[in-house]
Amino acid sequence: MLDQPPDETAAGGAGGASAPTLTIGPVDLTQAPAQLTMSCDGGVGMITIDNPCLVGHSLEPNALETGPHEIECTLAASVHPIVWSFELFIPVTQNPVTVLPETPSGLLVDVGGRQARVSRATGAMTFTRVDPSNRAFVARFDGSVTWTEPSGATFSCSVDGPLWGAPGGFE
């Protein structure tokens, strides 16, 4: 857990379920785990994503902090290709975020001895800390990621782990 005093808090939760409290304030990125691991079917095994993912500048004209931001997650490999890119509204207005983009984008990469790209992500991202001015967050992603091969064959990976965001130098 982060050892930082909260600045502001906003209650989270949906449908009466108790979710961790969302804190608006600084994120100590030195505490981020180095990776997020996916456990995949189809003989693929484990796929590892670099943590934190990068958060771009607001996509909304004239908005410095709030609005939609592109999130780019890279494969933990020697060249770190972008394998999952999606849009997230910061500050988070719903917690957990359960509506993930239907068509995430990312590069075709070598994973588990085959080429594939992320074609779908489902589940929930539950945020515990968001820093809108520094484009950073701490969340937990509990869900599934579907990868599609050039042939159209797919495999799925389950994910249940910390997903952090850090400022990236892009829009």
Tell me, what's the pLDDT at 78? 87
Provide the domain limits for residue 59: 27-167
- Is residue 11 in some structural domain? no
- Is residue 3 in some structural domain? no
- Is residue 16 in some structural domain? no
User: Token match 């808090």: residue?
Assistant: 9
- Please determine, for residue 38, whether its predicted confidence score (pLDDT) is greater than 70: yes
- Is residue 76 in some structural domain? yes
Tell me, what's the pLDDT at 1? 39
> How far is Cα 38 from Cα 157, in angstroms, rounded to an integer?
5
Q: How many domains does the chain have?
A: 1
- Is residue 51 in some structural domain? yes
Task: Find all residues with CB under 8 Å of 30, minimum gap 6, and list them.
Answer: none
Please give the distance of CA 102 from its chain centroid, rounded to a whole number.
Answer: 14
Neighbours of 107 (CB within 10 A): 14
- Is residue 1 in some structural domain? no
Confirm whether pTM is higher than 0.85: no
- Is residue 46 in some structural domain? yes
> How far is Cα 131 from Cα 86, in angstroms, rounded to an integer?
18
- Is residue 50 in some structural domain? yes
Predicted confidence band at 137 (pLDDT cuts at 50, 70, 90)? very high
Predicted confidence band at 44 (pLDDT cuts at 50, 70, 90)? very high
